[in-house]
Amino acid sequence: MKFIYCLLLPVIGLLSCGSDTASTLQKTKNDSSVTAILPLGQIDDRQVQLLSKELAAFYGMKLLILPKKTMPESCLLKNTKRYSADNMLKWLLKQKPAQCDRILGVTTYDIYTNKNQNPHWGIFGLGYKPGKVCIISDFRLKQFGNRRDTFLTLVTLHEIGHNLGLPHCDKHSHCLMNDAKGTAKTLFAEKKWLCSNCRKLLKKS
């Protein structure tokens, strides 16, 4: 039950909830990996700072916030304001500073990938598994009002989880590695929490 309350608490409270989160922190405390965050478009500094704090607390990694950039036109879908997430990942890799282990792009623009026979399927985020790059978009989260930042955090922890080698999880509906299946429904069930199976996999990685 303790995780049911997590979403209702302010961010600082969330970090101290439950022993499961604590054990994740324990594992990653000796993790000296560095994740670069590249803010793109009109993303709020406040949101970037929040994600930096959340990643440090959840995975124990170090963060480096890079200067904001404009979205690369080469990734734009012709005659739209939508960007190819797959192309964005390739572009982002080139922006990764050599001293960083991975890079996370955060944008306000709509991003898409090829899914379910739709070549332009709008998504919250995309990341390689395992890998050194992921991207998340706030575009489809704006509609959730005061839960927007909570969902942005969940999507970020999910994509970085993929980078760290975690696959999608069907063991627990609250696990943040649960597949969004292309809808927001899964996000409503997810907590800032990894199930024991995912934590085991994370330890092995």
For Zn ion, which stretch binds (CB under 5 A), given 69-77, 83-91, 174-182, 184-192? 174-182
The least CB distance from residue 7 to Zn ion, in Å, is 17
> Which of 162, 166, 148 minimizes the C-alpha distance to 203?
166
- Nearest approach, Cβ of residue 53 and Zn ion (Å): 22
The DSSP secondary-structure symbol of 115 reads: E
Shortest distance, CB of residue 175 to Zn ion, whole angstroms?
3
- Dist CA 202 CA 130 (whole Å): 11
Question: In angstroms, what is the minimal distance from the CB of 84 to Zn ion?
Answer: 17
137/152 Cα distance (integer angstroms): 8
Site string for Zn ion, 115-154 (x = CB under 5 A): ----------------------------------------
Comparison of 2 and 171: residue with beta carbon closer to Zn ion = 171
Q: Please tell me whether residue 40 binds Zn ion under the rule CB under 5 A.
A: no
Residue 157 to residue 52: CA distance in whole angstroms: 11
Q: Is 90 in contact with 82 (CB distance < 8 Å)?
A: no
Work out whether 195 is an interface residue with Zn ion (CB under 5 A). yes
| Longest pairwise C-alpha distance within the chain | 49
The verdict on 157 binding Zn ion (CB under 5 A) reads: no
Which neighbouring-strand residues pair with 137? 107
Q: Which helix (H) or strand (E) holds 94?
A: helix 85-95
**Of residues 175, 187, 201, 202, which one binds Zn ion by CB under 5 A?**
175
* Cβ proximity to Zn ion, 44 vs 170, nearer residue: 170
Rounded to a whole number of angstroms, the minimum distance from the CB of residue 78 to Zn ion is: 27
Whether the CB-CB separation of 41 and 71 falls below 8 Å is answered with yes
Interface with Zn ion (CB under 5 A), residue from 106, 123, 164, 169: 169
- Can you give the binding site for Zn ion, defined by CB under 5 A? 169, 171, 175, 177, 195, 198
